[in-house]
Amino acid sequence: MCGIAGIYNHNNNSDIVGVLNKMNTAMSHRGPDDQGTYTDEMVGLAHRRLAIIDLSAAGHQPMRSHDGDLEVVFNGEIYNFREIKKELTDSTFVSESDTEVILEAYKKWGVKCVEKFNGMFALAIWNKKDQSLFIARDRLGIKPLYYARVNNSLVFASEIRSLLASGMVSATINHTALTDYFTYQTVHAPNTLLKDVFMLLPGHYMKAENNSVTVHEYWNLIGNSSNKAATQSYEDVCEEIRTLFYNSIKRRLISDVPFGAFLSGGIDSSAVVGYMSKILDSPVKTFHISFDESEFSEALYAKIISKKFGTEHHEFRLTPNDFLQKLPDALQALDHPSGDGPNSWLVSRITRENGITMALSGLGGDELFAGYPIFNHSMLLNQMSFLWKIPVKYRLMLAHLLAKGKPGMNSNKLEALAKLPSCKLIDTIPLSRQLINRHNVSKLLSGKIEIDSLKAMIVDGYESGLDKLPALSQISYSEISGYMQNILLRDTDQMSMASALEVRVPFLDHTLVEYVMGIKDSMKKPVTPKKLFTDSMKGLLPDEVVYRKKMGFTFPWAQWLRNELRPFCEERIYSLANRDFMNKDVLISRWKAFCEGGNTVRWPEIWIAVVLEEWMMRNNVQN
């Protein structure tokens, strides 16, 4: 796990080494173990190393091929590199690193080498012979890769702050992405909050040669979904999932440094720990953050799993004030703002401080095995599709009656649902993920409201054959391509790497994902929490964990924003309000309404504005 950066066609910059060193320094937290650069008249490459596999100097990057033709910088892990090495019978290897295998695989298979890789990666290979640069990102977008075209040059890096450090990329806000940010508390790739800075999409590679840059797709979630389960019995499907999941975890235990696992006490992290304990000869080191003795504490369930599997358990009990004191450091770690992230930063920092360099996570289980409420809600709406045949005014009346009958229901969301033109995913998924509805976003921003990027992504999916997948898998596609890749994975990377901690995600092994995406709804339907997955685990998990209520980190955010964090927030709200893209009166009015204690404005709607301005101030981002 590392950080990479580079410049293609640097125009013989006399200080190219100095520029690369600045880019490297900006992401030094990603790789405290080693650093390196490579330059020639056309390209410059930079690397920061967090040594995980082959800790010797033989793993130094940029790494050169034995014939001298190739140079590579690589961030991530190729879990099946030893299997690939056996196919490279004509190659000679001098290290035990997966980086060397990448070079030899590229020599043999060219751009198709990425189809061989099982892992998480962002990599760049410079071919001196044909003067071409190959840049690729893993199938599911676990590792990030940002880039910008500057005149005839291409500059790329693992983090935006590294691009800015080059001095080649302008720190200018991307006005067209602001609609996305305020609606969904993130910006969906390939766009970012910086003008002319993009993310290479998951499952894509980029080729730069002859002063031109082209982008190609080598894998996508729809086209690579397997139909193997179509002819299998439920028992056979469970067995297949069990085998794929077990193998995924086993692959991710290759490490030459101390490692452990995040253990929340939920189904996903518990299953990861359960199989780790079966594979390893020594106790698994597990890490759990607990905050109080309230009904929201998950510490009890983590202890149940720890006791069952005999783990070396580390529970860190923090008060809300402990977290509050660490919040400035968490915000500083943000490379690209989002409405989430501090929780990931906290557990990563504590895990790293306790001598762990790599940890496994249960991220991805909810998206893959229908663990979110949206899966059941969407199936219910589909059964009620007849309601969209009646006039909208009657649907609105029904929504108001439901809201009155069940006070806990979000009346605004119900009303918005009733107004939708249909109950299809292209309409319901974007609504379910909205933080602020588009009407209020249009009031907040002074410019025009851009297209709904999440909806556009789903529309593109249907144009690529999404409707051929089972209904629950269509929702999985939307959740994986939207929320997971653009919030969960991005935050996990930037917040864990801020502490030089590598996080591996066994639920996102592409062989497992491809198989599960093809399973029919009748088997995957979540009658009980992630029933198909828990059935597949065949008694691995105790009932107390399987049937527990889903929880998560709980902090008194509303109280903090109105009290302890009020001066901090107010300064940034008023600063943001003076930006030319904001409607000053509306933002300040919403802030005051929130401070008065009403429920018309929720704390996340305020927090994303605070985070945006904090990020712009730290990075000197201009309007």
What would the pLDDT profile of 129-152 be if each residue is shown by its tens digit?
999 999 999 999 999 999 999 999
Beta bridge mates, 57:
none
> Among 156-170, 307-321, 552-566, which stretch is predicted with the lowest mean pLDDT?
552-566
Which architecture, in CATH terms, is 2-217?
4-Layer Sandwich (3.60)
pLDDT confidence bin for 293, thresholds 50/70/90: low
Instruction: Determine the pLDDT at residue 1.
Output: 65
Residue whose structure tokens are 């920061």: 48
CA dihedral (496, 501, 502, 507) in degrees, to 10, reads -50
> Among 323-337, 406-420, 427-441, 566-580, which stretch is predicted with the lowest mean pLDDT?
406-420
Residue 394 has pLDDT above 90, yes or no: no
Residues with catalytic annotation?
A: 2
The pLDDT tens digits for 256-273 are 899 999 999 999 999 999
CB 377 within 8 A of CB 429: no
DSSP percent split of the chain into helix, strand, coil, nearest 5: 50, 15, 35
Which pair of structure tokens corresponds to residue 555? 């902090």
Interval 206-234 mean pLDDT: 96
C-alpha 494 chain-centroid distance = 9
Regarding the domain with residue range 228-369+478-546, which homologous superfamily does it belong to in the CATH classification?
Answer: HUPs (3.40.50.620)
pLDDT confidence bin for 410, thresholds 50/70/90: low
pTM of the full structure: 0.95
Residue 407 has pLDDT above 60, yes or no: no
pLDDT confidence bin for 415, thresholds 50/70/90: confident
Residue whose structure tokens are 């980029």: 206
Domain ranges in the chain are 2-217, 228-369+478-546, 376-466, 557-618
pLDDT confidence bin for 275, thresholds 50/70/90: very high
C-alpha 39 chain-centroid distance = 31
Interval 200-216 mean pLDDT: 96
pLDDT confidence bin for 402, thresholds 50/70/90: confident
Instruction: Determine the pLDDT at residue 295.
Output: 55
Radius of gyration of the CA atoms of the chain, in A? 24
Instruction: Determine the pLDDT at residue 311.
Output: 97
Instruction: Determine the pLDDT at residue 292.
Output: 64
What whole-number percentage of the chain has pLDDT above 70? 97
Instruction: Determine the pLDDT at residue 357.
Output: 95
Instruction: Determine the pLDDT at residue 318.
Output: 84
d(CA 588, CA 578): 10
Instruction: Determine the pLDDT at residue 481.
Output: 97
Closest CA to 143 of 110, 126, 165, 119: 119
Instruction: Determine the pLDDT at residue 546.
Output: 92
Please, what is the Cα angle at 286 between 288 and 317, to 5 degrees? 25
- At 550 the three-state DSSP class reads coil
pLDDT confidence bin for 582, thresholds 50/70/90: very high
Which pair of structure tokens corresponds to residue 171? 């720190």
Closest CA to 102 of 65, 132, 133: 65
Instruction: Determine the pLDDT at residue 541.
Output: 95
d(CA 265, CA 548): 9
Instruction: Determine the pLDDT at residue 250.
Output: 97
Instruction: Determine the pLDDT at residue 329.
Output: 92
Instruction: Determine the pLDDT at residue 313.
Output: 96
Residue 314 zone, left/alpha/beta (φ > 0; ψ -120 to 50; rest): beta
CB 75 within 8 A of CB 121: yes
Mean of pLDDT over the chain: 93
Secondary structure (DSSP) of 252-282: TT--SS-EEEE--SSHHHHHHHHHHHHH-SS
pLDDT confidence bin for 296, thresholds 50/70/90: low
Secondary structure (DSSP) of 137-148: E-TT--S--EEE
Determine how β-strand 358-360 pairs with β-strand 502-504. parallel
Instruction: Determine the pLDDT at residue 56.
Output: 85
d(CA 294, CA 75): 40
Backbone angles phi, psi at 140, to 5 degrees: -105, 5
Instruction: Determine the pLDDT at residue 553.
Output: 57
pLDDT confidence bin for 213, thresholds 50/70/90: very high
Instruction: Determine the pLDDT at residue 576.
Output: 98
d(CA 261, CA 126): 35
Interval 301-307 mean pLDDT: 96
The pLDDT tens digits for 81-121 are 999 999 999 998 988 899 999 999 999 999 999 999 999 99
CB 26 within 8 A of CB 37: no
First and final CA of the chain: distance in angstroms?
A: 34
β-sheet with 132-137: strand ranges across: 63-64, 70-78, 119-127, 132-137, 204-209, 212-217
Instruction: Determine the pLDDT at residue 256.
Output: 86
- Which residues have a Cβ under 8 Å from the Cβ of 550 and sit 6 or more positions away? 266, 371, 529
Residue 555 has pLDDT above 80, yes or no: no
d(CA 106, CA 136): 12
Which pair of structure tokens corresponds to residue 415? 């009303």
The answer to whether the peptide bond before residue 190 is cis (omega within 30 degrees of 0) is: yes
Instruction: Determine the pLDDT at residue 552.
Output: 58
Instruction: Determine the pLDDT at residue 531.
Output: 96
The pLDDT tens digits for 146-196 are 999 999 999 999 999 999 999 999 999 999 999 999 999 999 999 999 999
The pLDDT tens digits for 419-464 are 999 999 999 999 999 999 999 999 999 989 999 999 999 999 999 9
Helix axes 584-595, 603-618, angle to 10 degrees: 130
Interval 62-88 mean pLDDT: 97
Residue 54 has pLDDT above 80, yes or no: no
